[in-house]
A and B are shown apart, each in its own frame.
Chain A
Amino acid sequence: MLKKRVIFTLLYDNGSFMLSRNFRLQKVGDLAWLEKNYNFSRVAFSIDELIVLDVSRGERNIDRFCENLKALTKGCFVPIAAGGGIRSLQHAFALLRSGADKIVINTPLFNDSSLILDIASKFGQQCVVASIDAKLISNSDYEIFAENGSKNIGKLNKWFEKISEYAIGELYLNSIDRDGTGQGYDLCMLSHIPQTLSVPIILAGGAGNFHHLAEGLSDPRVDAVATAHLFNFVGDGLEVARRKLLEVQKFNLATWDHPRDIERRGISCN
């Protein structure tokens, strides 16, 4: 049986990794910081998938992002999606050569759908993750904001219909209102997904503890839950959360041994 997924999202801005709250960014540290204080290579063994987004507000340095992506993914043996500011096939290709398996597309969904088709025909539809940032406007009425949440694009329902016709492999649905708040996911957004949209749904925005992850995973419409909150799952936070989801809540997640447990069994895997 196909497993549900717990995904970690790293937000990158010009050489640093960031915390985001309602799309306002706060610098946390660079790659060395991430390894030293967060023990990222250990966290990487507690997730099903990694997403790395270049959320730079200024001009993006693609080469530098690719270098960071390469360094980050070296010891990471899960599927990796990367994106942020993708405007050309060359840009997508640069990320795919730097360790990414999938490309996350946001703004071009609304103004350059031919790019999605180009990426899908060159690398396959499974390579495209459509990312949508939505905000509650009034009574269950959501609107989409593109360009790092700065530009109102229109109603979520209307765009969902359109996007369901695109050659996408997955949908990353993020709540701007919940982003970085730790108040839990916005499950109401899910009711706007049309029947015609049959790709897996990754729910993002708001997870503050393992109960929130559990709440997201319990929803039959959700295939994966994502968190970008570095501090809510600090230390062995994500490892413990995953264990609880598996052992206490009996969620249908993939299992594997941590490298240290494999070594304990006397098998050399490193």
Chain B
Amino acid sequence: MGNLWSVQSAIKYLGGTSIISSDPEKVLQSPFLILPGVGSFHKAMVTLRETGLNQAIIEAVRKKGSKILGICLGMQLLGSYGTEDGDTEGLSLIPNRVDKFTSQEVKNNKIPHIGFNGVEVNQRKGLFLNLSVKTDFYFVHSYKMLKENLNGRIGICNYGIDFLAAFEFENVCGTQFHPEKSQTNGLLLLNNFLS
């Protein structure tokens, strides 16, 4: 998918190497994992379970200390629970649940939320090193997590309602936006993730 191709070309631009794999063994051997997302929350979780990737990801992150970055639906999959395309449990690496934007929440805005929007970070360290307090990133999504009760570094975006745009706690990172589609702002963030 476009998503995978551009994530890979961004890593290459930053001087890194990457492989695209659905093999649990490869996942267990990788110090850095990026989980993109295509399709719905439900379909993606079913695929992760069928291939045994869900266990491999959790083991790599929890036992081996591999760093993971979930992008867009990939970040949502790190959550505890999703409602898209049927209620489904997520990987629960982030404790919060994923729900659809309601028209009430977004006020006069259109759903899906598509385009560049500003993200405010609570710390300019780690994943957010060298970024401004408010930085523009590219979003395409109709579902979101909220920031309630989360520890760690947090990026918030407002689209009628404040929602979780980026997250980092220990070795678990996620971005609701697409860093690979966000010009140098995204390249900086990916560079931070990889260093």
B181 to chain A, nearest CB (A): 5
Scan A70-95; emit 1 where CB is below 8 A from any B CB, else 0: 10011101111000000000000000
Which residue numbers of B lie inside 8 Å of A, CB to CB?
Answer: 1-3, 5-6, 9-10, 13-15, 38-39, 109-110, 112-118, 130, 135-136, 138, 140, 158-159, 178, 180-188, 191
Report the bound CA distance from A48 to B138 in whole Å: 9
Interface window among A18-26, A144-152, A210-218, A256-264: A256-264
B140 and A77 contacting across the interface, CB-CB below 8 Å: no
Q: A2-B115, A5-B115 are in contact. Are A73 and B6 (CB under 8 A)?
A: yes
Q: List 21 A-B contacts (CB under 8 A).
A: A5-B115, A48-B116, A73-B5, A77-B6, A77-B182, A77-B183, A77-B184, A78-B181, A97-B1, A97-B2, A97-B5, A126-B112, A169-B112, A253-B116, A254-B138, A255-B136, A265-B130, A267-B188, A268-B191, A269-B184, A269-B191
Q: For the A-B complex with A2-B109, A2-B116 known, give 19 more contacts whose Cβ atoms are closer than 8 Å.
A: A1-B118, A3-B115, A73-B6, A74-B9, A78-B181, A78-B183, A79-B178, A99-B5, A99-B9, A124-B39, A125-B112, A199-B110, A254-B116, A254-B136, A254-B138, A256-B184, A262-B184, A269-B187, A270-B15
**Which residues of A are found within 8 Å of B181, using beta-carbon distances?**
77-79, 101
Residue among B116, B180, B191 with the most chain A CB within 10 A? Answer: B116
B184 and A257 contacting across the interface, CB-CB below 8 Å: yes
Residue A13, interface by CB 8 Å: no
Q: A5-B116, A262-B188 are in contact. Are A269 and B14 (CB under 8 A)?
A: yes
Indicate the size class of the contact surface on chain A.
35 or more
A79 and B138 contacting across the interface, CB-CB below 8 Å: yes
**Which residues of B are found within 8 Å of A2, using beta-carbon distances?**
109, 113, 115-117, 159
B-side interface mostly:
mixed
Scan A193-211; emit 1 where CB is below 8 A from any B CB, else 0: 0000011100000000000
Q: A45-B183, A78-B183, A100-B2 are in contact. Are A1 and B9 (CB under 8 A)?
A: no
B3 to chain A, nearest CB (A): 7
A140 to chain B, nearest CB (A): 27
B13 and A270 contacting across the interface, CB-CB below 8 Å: yes
Closest A residue to B134 using CB positions: A255
Residue A179, interface by CB 8 Å: no
Q: A255-B136, A262-B188 are in contact. Are A200 and B117 (CB under 8 A)?
A: no
B185 to chain A, nearest CB (A): 5
B178 to chain A, nearest CB (A): 8
B110 and A80 contacting across the interface, CB-CB below 8 Å: no
Report the bound CA distance from A256 to B179 in whole Å: 12
A256 and B9 contacting across the interface, CB-CB below 8 Å: no
**Which residues of A are found within 8 Å of B191, using beta-carbon distances?**
267-269
Report the bound CA distance from A143 to B90 in whole Å: 49
Closest B residue to A93 using CB positions: B1
